[in-house]
Amino acid sequence: MSDADNDPTVAANEPAGETPIQKALRLKKATIDARPTPPKGGKFQREQAARIASGKSKPWMSR
């Protein structure tokens, strides 16, 4: 076990009666929320919209 598991300050932030699966999901969501997000609007968004859809680049997949 790591020191974070035994840290009383971390235990104070946990909801009462939280199952290990709920704890894992909560930590996963917190990690995802902490990631930097791409910029909104402007040139970046236009470049993203102009990309070809993944299925369009495989002409042998359509009839």
For residue range 13-57, what is the model confidence (pLDDT) as tens digits?
677 888 999 999 999 999 999 998 877 777 777 777 776 666 566
The two tokens of residue 15 are: 């909801």
Secondary structure of the chain in HEC code, one letter for each residue: CCHHHHCHHHHHHCCCCCCHHHHHHHHHHHHHHHCCCCCCCHHHHHHHHHCCCHHHHCHHHCC
The model's pTM is 0.41
The total of structural domains in the chain comes to 1
More confident residue, 8 or 47: 47
Domain extent, residue 19, equals 3-61
